[in-house]
């Protein structure tokens, strides 16, 4: 398996020379993709989310430049946004710290420096780049205060918005990696990135000199696969989620990782795809990776205990299946509680929920009874006009 070392960088921290290789197509983002990126970033205003992660940028470090294996569309769009902001308030917002070069059509390097809209029709790459610049301009001008919007965007790049930096091993074949990424053989899910955090050579926690040795990494890899295999037990999965898993699910350990991050099931589709990895990236700044892994194992063992304990199985299963409580809510209620204390909490919640269900059933039955009486009355009238 190729060595990877994922991390995160704030957009304002991206620097260096990025070379777009000849095996990639040119820039092809249209208006919809550019507007979606702008909206996603700008909507951070007033949002409680402290950070937002863009899709990964995959590179190979060649010393004096990075080979840009994946993420050309996003990185080029970020460059054009910076170019636009700089041209509008040049003395206050600097040019981007990174540059883009191309193995084919090197004239695009000069074009990106000036972004001359009169050259839009010269070739297809220029057309898409100019269209992106025009889209950014129109989007900004549509704001109530365009200048404030520009400064807000620049602040988000500095404080909030990050990219997942996915650096390939020096022995990795970039062409084959590109092919695997683009035909879906490599799933850059949060779970895969968190796993790579533990298994990358030179991984560290809050103290850079504390490394995970090969033996510990092998142990984690084995335990990771064991957790994943056990979560593919349909009975356990249905108990925890009240859904039937699909064989096509790339990973199920996400459930454990999401619980540790406090992510609620109802939020999964609404949050950043890599939000869980982003959270673990923050955690490892405060905790040793060995301790962090023990927390993951501990969380999984808690769920297994609920599944194997007769009383927990029925009460937790009842609350999840009835929709009264989510797994996330139940898990949070169990945190830092003794088993006996949590058992009492479950009993209280279950009794309350059962009582509510009985009340609702009685109301429904009463309503049905009234309807039946009404139907009988009308039937009587039809027989006795």
Rounded distance between C-alpha atoms, residue 373 and residue 338, angstroms = 52
Q: CB count, 10 Å around CB of 147?
A: 12
Same domain assignment for residues 225 and 181: no
Q: What was the pLDDT predicted at 168?
A: 85
Same domain assignment for residues 150 and 203: no
3-state secondary structure of 251: coil
Q: Which residue has the tokens 């050309």?
A: 72
Same domain assignment for residues 210 and 162: no
Look at strands 4-10 and 52-61 and give their pairing: unpaired
Look at strands 4-10 and 161-168 and give their pairing: antiparallel
Same domain assignment for residues 319 and 356: no
Same domain assignment for residues 180 and 220: no
Tokens of 277: 């990895």
Residue 331 lies in a domain: yes
Q: What was the pLDDT predicted at 160?
A: 86
Same domain assignment for residues 52 and 145: yes
Look at the pTM and tell me if it is higher than 0.95.
no
Rounded distance between C-alpha atoms, residue 361 and residue 368, angstroms = 10
Same domain assignment for residues 95 and 52: yes
Tokens of 53: 């992660």
Same domain assignment for residues 255 and 379: no
Residue 99 lies in a domain: yes
3-state secondary structure of 9: strand
Rounded distance between C-alpha atoms, residue 69 and residue 75, angstroms = 11
Q: Which DSSP string corresponds to 157-199?
A: HHHTEEEEEEEEPTTS-HHHHHHHHHTTSS---HHHHHHHHHH
Residue 341 lies in a domain: no
Same domain assignment for residues 207 and 330: yes
Q: Are 313 and 239 in contact (CB under 8 A)?
A: yes
For every one of its 385 residues, what pLDDT tens digit does the chain have, with 9 covering 90 and above? 445 567 888 999 999 999 998 878 888 899 999 999 999 888 876 555 556 778 889 899 999 999 999 899 999 999 999 999 999 997 799 889 999 998 877 788 889 988 999 999 888 889 999 999 999 999 999 999 999 999 999 999 998 888 888 888 877 888 777 777 766 545 567 787 788 778 765 444 444 435 577 788 888 888 998 998 899 898 999 999 988 765 545 678 999 999 998 764 434 434 466 778 878 888 888 888 889 999 999 999 999 999 999 999 988 888 888 888 889 989 998 988 888 898 888 888 887 766 555 555 555 555 555 555 555 545 444 555 5
> Residue 204 burial by CB count (10 A; 0-12/13-18/19+): exposed, middle or buried?
middle
Structural domain boundaries, residue 111: 4-186
Nearest to 37, CA basis, from 118, 136, 137 = 136
**Torsion 124-129-131-132 (CA) sign:** positive
Domain-terminating residue out of 138, 157, 186: 186
Q: What was the pLDDT predicted at 134?
A: 97
Tokens of 192: 């895969």
Residue 131 lies in a domain: yes
Q: Which DSSP string corresponds to 129-157?
A: HHHHHHHHHHHHHTSSSHHHHHHHHHHHH
Domain-terminating residue out of 186, 218, 236: 186
Residue 192 lies in a domain: no
- State the total domains in the chain: 3
Calculate the CA 219 to chain-centre distance.
26
Same domain assignment for residues 53 and 143: yes
Measured CA to CA in angstroms, residue 238 lies from 233, 241, 259 at distances of 9, 5, 16
Q: What was the pLDDT predicted at 26?
A: 83
Same domain assignment for residues 269 and 298: yes
Residue 252 lies in a domain: yes
Same domain assignment for residues 288 and 259: yes
Residue 346 lies in a domain: no
Tokens of 109: 């390097």
Q: Which residue has the tokens 């683009």?
A: 182
Task: Give the phi and the psi of residue 76 in degrees, each rounded to 5.
Answer: -65, -40
Q: Are 88 and 44 in contact (CB under 8 A)?
A: no
Residue 344 lies in a domain: no
Domain-terminating residue out of 186, 221, 242: 186
């Amino acid at each position: 398996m190729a060595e990877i070392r994922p991390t995160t960088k704030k957009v304002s921290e991206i620097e260096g020379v990025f070379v777009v290789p000849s095996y990639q197509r040119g820039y092809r983002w249209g208006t919809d993709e550019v507007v979606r990126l702008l909206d996603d970033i700008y909507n951070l205003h007033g949002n409680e989310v402290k950070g937002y992660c863009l899709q990964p940028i995959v590179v190979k470090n060649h010393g004096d430049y990075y080979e840009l294996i994946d993420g050309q569309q996003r990185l080029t769009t970020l460059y054009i946004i910076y170019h636009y902001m700089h041209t509008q308030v040049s003395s206050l917002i600097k040019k981007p710290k990174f540059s883009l070069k191309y193995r084919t059509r090197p004239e695009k390097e000069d074009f990106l420096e000036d972004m001359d809209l009169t050259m839009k029709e010269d070739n297809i790459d220029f057309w898409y780049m100019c269209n992106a610049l025009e889209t950014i301009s129109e989007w900004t001008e549509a704001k109530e205060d365009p200048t404030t919007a520009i400064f807000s965007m620049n602040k988000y790049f500095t404080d909030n918005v990050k990219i997942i930096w996915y650096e390939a091993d020096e022995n990795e074949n970039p062409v084959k990696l590109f092919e695997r990424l683009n035909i879906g053989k490599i799933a850059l899910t949060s779970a895969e990135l968190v796993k790579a955090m533990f298994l990358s050579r030179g991984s560290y926690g809050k103290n850079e000199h504390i490394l995970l040795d090969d033996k510990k990494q092998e142990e984690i890899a084995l335990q990771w696969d064991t957790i994943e295999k056990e979560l593919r037990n349909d009975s356990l999965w249905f108990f925890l989620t009240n859904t039937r898993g699909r064989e096509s699910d790339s990973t199920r350990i996400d459930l454990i990782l999401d619980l540790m991050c406090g992510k609620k099931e109802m939020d999964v589709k609404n949050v950043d795809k890599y939000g869980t990895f982003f959270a673990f990236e923050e955690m490892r700044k405060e905790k040793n990776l060995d301790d962090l892994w023990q927390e993951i194992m501990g969380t999984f063992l808690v769920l297994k205990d609920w599944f194997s304990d007769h009383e927990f199985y029925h009460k937790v299963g009842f609350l999840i299946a009835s929709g009264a409580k989510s797994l996330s809510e139940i898990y949070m209620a169990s945190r830092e509680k003794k088993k006996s204390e949590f058992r009492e909490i479950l009993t209280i919640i279950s009794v309350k929920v059962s009582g509510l269900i009985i009340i609702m059933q009685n109301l429904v039955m009463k309503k049905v009874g009234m309807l039946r009486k009404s139907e009988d009355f009308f039937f009587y009238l039809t027989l006795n006009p």
